[in-house]
Amino acid sequence: MKEKPKKIRKTKRKSLKILLLLVIILIAFIGYKGLKAYFKLQNATQGEVIHSSMRNQELKDTQPFSILFLGIENYATKGQGGRTDSIILVTVNPKDNTIQKMSIPRDTYVEIPDQKRKSKINGAYNSGLQSTVNTVENFLHVPIDYYVTVDFGGFKNIVDEVGGINVDVPFDFWQYTDTKPRYKVYFKKGNQHLNGTEALAYARMRKRDPRGDFGREERQQQAMLAIIDKLKSPKTLFKIDKYASVFSKNVTTNMSLSEGLFLFNDMKETNPKNITTLKLDGKDDYIDRIYYYMPDQTSVTAITSSLRSHLELDKSPANSNSK
């Protein structure tokens, strides 16, 4: 067998060395950005500690759990107090990789235990995060294990950082931006690419939606899923430190970093067919000329049953507070 010329062998070795060097640089680059992202995300995971009155022991790795997602509207109060503009409860069952989710309209008329009165559920946040957790637990009789709060003022920064999002606009409408000076953004039925300011306007419009809060909540969930879809991209690795910086400034949670990453990976891989959306039925009503959404008790009972079953809680809420 004829030996290959030394020049060819040297060229191949040189090419291999260059390729190996590039791989090492790439790994180091990703590792460096990953390390930066880790420390930045630690800020996001150092949120307020909450306590569930319906859990008396730590969750096991395979045990179903719940997450309360809250969109906080506090830019009008300069970051102080505020209200929950969006309330989404999600239950996750890791055993069969299923998810149940429901939106609670912000005007829902409920008992707010910490304020010892009945009012709109979004007002519970005025007494703090724990008050909102207590109110949701009291209303639906399911434990709240984790929470994630998103500052709506910073929501647009997150969207801009991921390069905008694509949404399927359900119908033509317009909405004012929250910028100064304000201006109208027009949305046309069909696929549309939105930057941060446009995405916030899209997620907040309610008055021109024939379905009111329910239509808005679907658009908010749509925007959240669009962000997650963007984060699935391999390009995420190269901007992970920038993403982490934006998220740490606008998102707080009581999840550990490992729990958050585990959840993100689970949600990323979940088949849409395994996601069930629950709808809270009710009616519009006024008390002292103030609008409220009055929940139908039959619907509340059915939702409680479904959520508790998904969380593998067999006892009825009337029988026990520890599940």
**Is the per-residue pLDDT at 30 higher than 50?**
no
**Average pLDDT of the residues in 152-162:** 81
**Is the per-residue pLDDT at 312 higher than 70?**
yes
Q: Is residue 263 within 8 Å of residue 92, measured between CB atoms?
A: yes
**Is the per-residue pLDDT at 296 higher than 90?**
yes
Residue 94, token pair as written in the block = 């890791």
Walk me through the domains of the chain, giving residue ranges and CATH numbers: 65-151+164-223+251-310 (3.40.630.190)
Q: How far apart are CA 133 and CA 111, in angstroms?
A: 12
**Is the per-residue pLDDT at 97 higher than 90?**
no
**pLDDT winner (highest mean) among 8-17, 29-38, 254-263:** 254-263
Q: How far apart are CA 7 and CA 13, in angstroms?
A: 10
**Average pLDDT of the residues in 91-98:** 88
Q: Is residue 279 within 8 Å of residue 214, measured between CB atoms?
A: yes
**Is the per-residue pLDDT at 124 higher than 80?**
yes
